[in-house]
Amino acid sequence: MRPRSSFLLASILLLGSCGGVPSTPAAPALQAIDPSEQAANLHTRMEAFRHLSDPEAEAEVAEEAAVVWKVPADGAPLLGGALAPVTIVEFGDFQCGFCVRAERTLAQIRASYGDAVRIVWRDDPLPFHERANATAELAREARAEKGDAGFWAAHDALLAARGELSDGALESLSRRLGLDPTRVAAAIAQNRYEDGIDDDLEIADDVGAEGTPTFFINGRRLVGAQPLESWKPIIDSEIAHARALLAKGTAPSALYDTIIQGGRVAPDPRMVKIDPPSGAPFRGDPAGSVVIQEFADFQCPYCARAEEALARVLTRYPSRVKLVWRDLPLSMHVNAELAAEAAVEAKKQKGNLGFWAMHDKLLDHQGAPHALERPALVIYAKEMGLDVGAFEKALDARVHAAEVTIDAKAASAVDIRGTPAFVVGGYVLDGAQPFVRFRKLIRRLAP
């Protein structure tokens, strides 16, 4: 027998981590996704999966499509009647070509169904689209200046621009829309609406919107730029469902919330009990109420990739977070153990700051040939002003090997086998995680 839909769907997603797979399968929504590969390929892979000839596979896709997800619509830009029986929530990105393509189908839906359908937009800017955040900021500024009508005018203009989204193009577009170009430019430069965009990204994570566009039709998920034929059975079914609820006395204003009540959300990460050792290298507030332990490997490319999100965490929560490093050099990475010992020796000589200076050098140079071999490590020690003789002696004698092993044993005890892995106040996140997953847990642990 084939595995259930959740595992079939999980098999088409890509883990952003090095090393082993936990013995207990993690929920797909909690695993890190390589965003560039994921969003580029998700639609194609879903379509290939959707059209498998295997009847059981097709049945599982249909079962997944029937699941209702709890997708909030409040507070987001709305197009259509507020009391429409069908709500379509789109997670989109203004630089996404598939979102442009899907807009033609949405226009057909509006023409066919009229007031029976309303559309809600939620931002899901993909990290490899360089102008995705800027365009989301512009559209939110348009809403701030001109309400929902202003947002949808900006939405249409941005998608019609078909990727021509340079600073100059956005300034010209702002003027055509009657917006204040100075305010628009400031919103983009200052990330004025960053919190609101991150709120949408958290919701996307909660409901498994892993690529753009992802649609939820009264909570039922539809992925990618699908033709009208894929939409009609779901919309027709939901109109009938809504009419039945109204006939039973559900108030029109409460209809959508009633439909999604009890809907699915992504499960919480698993929890473990593991305390950081005293004296471990850390960044952030030493008294931070949220401790994030990072189990990592200096030769792991995903550990380097995670640095951007961690920098945002420390910038956003400077007085709430203490980030602790824990060594987990993987056997597949031949230079990882020696690199870890080099960082420990840097800490011995120059304290916490010395460790992080070496940490940054190791990850910054990670991709270069021979960057983590012994001669390179000695060069970094010289650049940092370490006692090079003592440094070389420590490496040659493997003075810190046992200390590095302590963290690896602690990781194994809680079934952490790959890098990077994070323990956020007890919650385990595997892989190179996006900022919003840290944000969600930090705000839960320290409101």
In a shared domain, residues 125 and 253: yes
Residue type, 118: R
Q: What is the pLDDT of residue 162?
A: 85
List the one residue out of 397, 404, 362, 396 whose CA is nearest residue 379. 362
Query: For the residues 212-224, what does the mean pLDDT come to?
Result: 97
CATH, residue 188: 3.40.30.10
DSSP H or E run through 129: none
Mean local confidence (pLDDT), 401-418? 96
* Tens of pLDDT, residues 422-436: 999 999 999 999 999
Say if CB 339 and CB 359 are below 8 A apart.
Answer: no
CB-based contact 299:339 (threshold 8 Å):
yes
Q: What pLDDT is stored for residue 66 in this prediction?
A: 86
Q: Are residues 255 and 326 in the same domain?
A: no
Check whether residue 193 and residue 335 sit in a common domain.
no
Res 25: pLDDT: 36
pLDDT average, residue stretch 403-427:
96
Instruction: Residue 311: name the closest of 371, 354, 356 by CA.
Output: 356
CA separation (Å) from 182 to 75, 185, 187? Answer: 25, 5, 9
Residue 186 and residue 255 in one domain:
yes
Residue 236 domain flag: yes
Does the structure show a pLDDT above 90 at 193? yes
pLDDT tier, 17 (very low <50, low <70, confident <90, very high otherwise): low
pLDDT surpassing 80 at residue 92: yes
Asked if residue 309 and residue 220 are part of one domain, the reply reads no
3-state secondary structure (DSSP) of residue 214: strand
User: What is the Rg, in whole angstroms, of the alpha carbon atoms belonging to the chain?
Assistant: 25
Peptide bond preceding 213 in cis form (omega within 30 of 0):
yes
- Looking at the structure, tell me whether residues 301 and 414 fall in a common domain: yes
Kindly indicate the confidence band of residue 305, based on its pLDDT and cuts at 50, 70 and 90.
very high
For residues 280 and 410, give the distance between their C-alpha atoms in angstroms, rounded to a whole number: 13
Taking 50 as the threshold, does the pLDDT of residue 32 lie above it?
no
Locate 402 and state its tokens.
Answer: 């046992």
The reply to whether 109 and 202 lie within a common domain is yes
Asked, for residue 319, whether it belongs to a domain, the answer is yes
**With pLDDT > 70 as the criterion, what percentage of the chain qualifies?**
86
Phi, psi of 91 (to 5 degrees): -95, 115
Give dist(CA 384, CA 374) in Å, integer. 15
Q: What is the mean pLDDT of residues 117-128?
A: 96
Per-residue CA distances from 235 to 60, 110, 219, 221 (Å): 20, 11, 11, 12
Residue whose pair of structure tokens reads 């580029």 in the numeric block: 40
Predicted confidence (pLDDT) per residue in 263-300, tens digit: 999 999 999 999 999 999 999 999 999 999 999 999 99
Position 318 in a domain? yes
Q: How far apart are CA 241 and CA 16, in angstroms?
A: 40
Count of domains for the chain: 2
Res 163: pLDDT: 86
Q: Domain boundary at 209, 226, 260, which?
A: 260
Q: Are residues 246 and 148 part of one domain? A: yes
Domain assignment present for 114? yes
Q: Are residues 222 and 357 in the same domain?
A: no
Indicate whether 343 and 423 sit together in one domain: yes
Pairing between β-strand 78-79 and β-strand 117-123 as defined by DSSP bridges: antiparallel
Percentage of the chain lying above the pLDDT 90 cut: 84
CA 223/CA 225 separation, integer angstroms: 7
Question: In 161-210, where does DSSP find H-type helix?
Answer: 167-176, 181-190, 194-206
End-to-end CA distance of the chain: 45
> Tokens 């012994």 — which residue?
374
Q: Is residue 353 part of a domain?
A: yes
For range 245-250, the mean pLDDT: 97
The arithmetic mean of pLDDT across residues 224-252, rounded, is 97
Structure tokens at 237: 């079914």
Answer yes or no: is 358 within a domain: yes
Contact 34, 14 (CB under 8 A): yes
Q: What is the pLDDT of residues 351-381, one digit of tens each?
A: 999 999 999 999 999 999 999 999 999 999 9
2 contacts 60 by C-beta, under 8 angstroms: yes
pLDDT at 154 over 70: yes
pLDDT score of 60: 60
The answer to the question of residue 53 being in a domain is no
Of 383, 361, 387, nearest to 372 by C-alpha is 361
pLDDT of residue 61: 58
Structural domain for 163, as ranges = 78-260
Instruction: Please tell me the distance from the alpha carbon of residue 93 to that of residue 213, in angstroms, as a whole number.
Output: 7
The answer to whether residue 28 scores a pLDDT higher than 50 is no
Q: Please state, rounded to an integer, the average pLDDT across all residues of the chain.
A: 89
Q: Say yes or no: 225 and 359 in one domain.
A: no
DSSP-assigned beta bridge partners for residue 90: 121, 215
Same domain, 350 and 423: yes
Answer yes or no: is 113 within a domain.
yes
Rounded Cα gap, residues 234 and 362, in angstroms: 52
Give CA 54 to chain center in angstroms.
32
Other CB atoms within 10 Å distance of the CB of residue 241: 16
Across the range 106-114, mean pLDDT stands at 97
Gap between the Cα atoms of 421 and 55, Å rounded: 38
